[in-house]
Structure 1
Amino acid sequence: MHKSLLKVSLLALAIAAPMAHAFEAGDIIVRAGAITVDPHESSSDIWVGALDTDVAGSKATLDSDTQLGLNFAYMATDHIGIELLAATPFSHNVGVKGMPGAFAGLNGKLGEIKQLPPTLSVLYYPMDSKAAFQPYAGVGINYTWFYDTKLSSSAEDKGFSSLDLDDSWGLAGQVGMDYMLSDNIMLNAQVRYIDIDTKGTTNYGGREVEVDVDVDPWVYMVGLGYKF
């Protein structure tokens, strides 16, 4: 009988233990992990100055990249947090596709760009503040800084010179979850959608080439967090 009571008590403690893992007003949360920016780009037709027209069917492309992601959050209340997304610089290959006829040789890798997408968000945690499982959703504003752009050697050989992308302001949305492993350590997973719009500019044959690009990436992150 005593052994049965002991087993029941230990089970009750194991179930109740996560209830001690609270998100409360004033908590500071730091998360770190692998973060992937996966552009779902949609571009206008490329405007070629040498032709003084858009080239129908031509597009700009961007590939994805994975870096170290960092989140810094402050719990303003038991259910509302303010979060800043940071990361080590992302690097993306920029390409051209769909150029027809005499310009088909311009298709392929154009160059490489780096970008940083700091994002400030307000998060809502709907669960009881003492629950171990903490799903959340948030909205925020993003600033994407494009820098350190450079042309590929093959693009330079084709006659391109210079490469530039405008910085971007846009809205961001996210959903995520934390699962408390202890009073302070948590597992984290999150998915974001960020509105990034930019104009790309290069030079070909002494004339400007322009394209408007909706980068609009999905951003995925998994990692660990620590609550102070």
Structure 2
Amino acid sequence: MKKFVVASVAFAALLGGAAQAQEFSPNAKGDFIVHARITQVAPDKDAAILTAAGASTGLKAHVANDVKPTLGFTYFLTDKVAVEAILGTTQHDIRAQGPGTDVLVHTAWVLPPVVTLQYHPLPAARVSPYVGAGVNYMLFYSSKDKNGFTVKLDDGFGYALQAGVNVKLKGPWLLNADVKKVWFNTDAKINGGALKSSVDLDPLVSSIGVSRKF
């Protein structure tokens, strides 16, 4: 997460320096920004697959990364405080992995809307960083079982922290880099509960894109 933020800020600063001769407008109450981004959703780690009685199977549930286009919508309540909502969906493979085993058991689409309250400390700056915190809801849909397995994933709420930067270009246009860390746990029931896994998805949601102010 630190590496992404540092790289994003450095990239934004470079672009901002190249655009110094152009006019731009500072943040202001009532501004509405639409972000068109490319986003990677990267779940944090694998989770142990257990029997119904809680015994170890030696297997782990691995949830793959995915990259998709997303939209973000930011509204400024003041020149320094804004609220953002993101809209996007990603598809993830779930594999059972262990010694001598690597089997695809399930694929699922997830709709993870995140709403954050942001603080922008430098509203008049061309390169304008921000931080935020908020909540999300993980909704799994269009799921498909694979290779004779059945998997049920529980929807639910989580929470998120955010850091990013806007680089203001000429007129209403901006460049945006954004990273969110989402904490979310889901219970997976496999083969009707014969196997189970408590999966801390905790994805890192990394985005970069072009934005327009209205």
Q: Same fold (TM over 0.5)?
A: yes
Q: 1:34 to 1:17 in 2, by over 3 A?
A: closer
SS in 1 for 2:35: strand
2:119 corresponds to: 124
SS in 2 for 1:57: strand
- Match for residue 50 of structure 2 among 44, 47, 50: 47
Equivalents in 1 of 2:129, 2:59: separation in Å? 42
1:175 corresponds to: 163
Residue 151 of structure 2 aligns with an amino acid whose one-letter code is: L
**Residue 208 of structure 2 is aligned to residue 225 of structure 1:** no
Residue 69 of structure 2 aligns with an amino acid whose one-letter code is: L
Q: In angstroms, what is the RMSD of aligned CA positions? A: 1.9
Post-superposition offset of 1:57:
3.5
**Residue 196 of structure 2 is aligned to residue 210 of structure 1:** yes
2:131 corresponds to: 137
1:4 corresponds to: none
Equivalents in 2 of 1:53, 1:188: separation in Å? 45
Q: 1:136 to 1:207 in 2, by over 3 A?
A: closer
2:59 corresponds to: 58
Post-superposition offset of 1:168:
2.3
Post-superposition offset of 1:207:
5.8
Bigger proportion of residues as helix: 1
2:13 corresponds to: none
Equivalents in 2 of 1:207, 1:194: separation in Å? 27
Q: Tell me if structure 2 keeps the 8 A contact 1:143–1:168.
A: yes
Q: Tell me if structure 2 keeps the 8 A contact 1:22–1:183.
A: no
Q: How many residues align?
A: 196
Q: Which runs of 5+ in 2 are unaligned?
A: 1-18
Equivalents in 1 of 2:54, 2:133: separation in Å? 39
1:31 corresponds to: 35
SS in 2 for 1:175: strand
1:165 corresponds to: 153
2:92 corresponds to: 92
Equivalents in 1 of 2:96, 2:70: separation in Å? 29
SS in 2 for 1:41: coil
**Residue 60 of structure 2 is aligned to residue 74 of structure 1:** no
Q: 1:21 to 1:108 in 2, by over 3 A?
A: same
Q: 1:111 to 1:23 in 2, by over 3 A?
A: same
1:187 corresponds to: 175
SS in 2 for 1:26: coil
SS in 1 for 2:55: strand
Equivalents in 1 of 2:140, 2:193: separation in Å? 22
Q: What is the identity percentage for the equivalent residue pairs of Structure 1 and Structure 2?
A: 32
Residue 41 of structure 2 aligns with an amino acid whose one-letter code is: V
TM-superposition CA deviations, 1:151-175 (whole Å, max 9, x none): 12xx21xxx2x22110121110111
The TM-score with structure 1 as length reference comes to 0.80
Q: Which runs of 5+ in 1 are unaligned?
A: 1-13
Post-superposition offset of 1:118:
0.2
Q: Tell me if structure 1 keeps the 8 A contact 2:51–2:57.
A: no
Post-superposition offset of 1:112:
0.5
Equivalents in 1 of 2:29, 2:129: separation in Å? 17
